Amino acid sequence: MTLDSLQKTLNTKADGVSHLDQYYYNTPLDFFIFLSSISAVVGTSGQSSYSAANMYGAAVIAQRRARGLKASTVELSTVFGVGYFSSIDDDKQKSILANVQGFNSIPVSDADLHESIYEAILRASPDAAHQTGGITMGIATEMALKGQGKPRWHEDPRFGFMTARDDSLLSPAKRSQGRRSHDRKVPIKQLLTAGSIAPDEALNIATKYFTAEIENVMQLSEASVHPEASLMDVGVDSLMAIDLRAWFFRELGVNMPVLSILNGGSSKNLCKAAMEQLS
């Protein structure tokens, strides 16, 4: 890619959002929405300059929110049925649709676009519960595109919350690894609280299934996480920690603070703390 080619793509969006931001730098607008693309979320092969332009816009939005101003982003897939796509022939539309699905995204209608803008307005406040102020529309799940090839980002643990996994789409080995412990005939809590089980054995059982849940959430291979490894070293982030906290509540009925998961504890130490709550 030449510098000229990069600038032609980058400057269109980057200059536009930068000029608007400077003009309304401290103006308390009702909303300030940057229309972005899902390429800024998952990346698009051969379109790094376009992804960079959208990421720049997202950074401007983050800065406005940090200044206490209302701002949000809408990250879209291809919008069909309006504009350019309303005037092309069927063959061309089918070709573009196939390309969109190849990136594991789904087309967005004009009604979807209107709804996403409405949601972005609601999330524009920097004090809103959704702190990023971002709306992402058009990323497909494995079940939505069953039978089609998956893009590389489906294997990235950072997108674990965007991939709805279906056992029929996984190999037998991954089905065994990824199966959640609540699919068991005997609940884990019942196993751990059985009168005949020794405390050490109960701790090993809890650690085994919690470690498997970590591998499931992070999409790692079986037995790849050591029970005594720090979860920070493993790569658990705040979103994953929320999912793991839910596991403790769902399976054991105990409250495990997210900070305990993020403060460097191992799966064994966390399960030990959970077992103390059960006793």
Q: Is residue 257 a contact partner of residue 244, using CB atoms and an 8 Å limit?
A: no
**H or E stretch covering 102:** helix 90-102
Helix %, strand %, coil % for the chain, to 5? 55, 5, 35
CATH of 172-278, one of 3.40.640.10, 3.40.50.2000, 1.10.1200.10, 1.10.287.3510: 1.10.1200.10
β-sheet with 134-137: strand ranges across = 33-37, 72-76, 134-137
User: How many Å apart are CA 14 and CA 7, to the nearest integer?
Assistant: 10
Domain boundaries, the chain: 3-162, 172-278
User: Which residues, given as ranges, of the chain have pLDDT below 50?
Assistant: 144, 166-183
Distance of CA 24 to the CA centre of its chain: 31
pLDDT at 170: 42
User: How many Å apart are CA 160 and CA 162, to the nearest integer?
Assistant: 5
Give me the helix-helix angle, 267-278 and 199-218, nearest 10°. Answer: 130
Query: Residue 165, exposed/middle/buried by CB under 10 A (0-12, 13-18, 19+)?
Result: middle
What's the token pair of residue 205? Answer: 């059982």
Give me the helix-helix angle, 3-23 and 48-66, nearest 10°. Answer: 20
DSSP 195-250: TTS-HHHHHHHHHHHHHHHHHHHHTPPTT-S-TTSBHHHHT--HHHHHHHHHHIII
What's the token pair of residue 136? Answer: 């992402």
- CA nearest to 53, candidates 75, 84, 79: 75
Query: ∠ CA 75-81-85 to the nearest 5 degrees?
Result: 85
User: How many Å apart are CA 174 and CA 271, to the nearest integer?
Assistant: 24
What's the token pair of residue 175? Answer: 């089905």
User: How many Å apart are CA 178 and CA 269, to the nearest integer?
Assistant: 22
pTM: 0.56
pLDDT at 61: 93
Q: Give me the CATH topology for the region 3-162.
A: Rossmann fold (3.40.50)
pLDDT at 247: 87
Summarised one tens digit per residue, pLDDT across range 47-75 is: 788 888 999 999 999 999 999 999 999 99
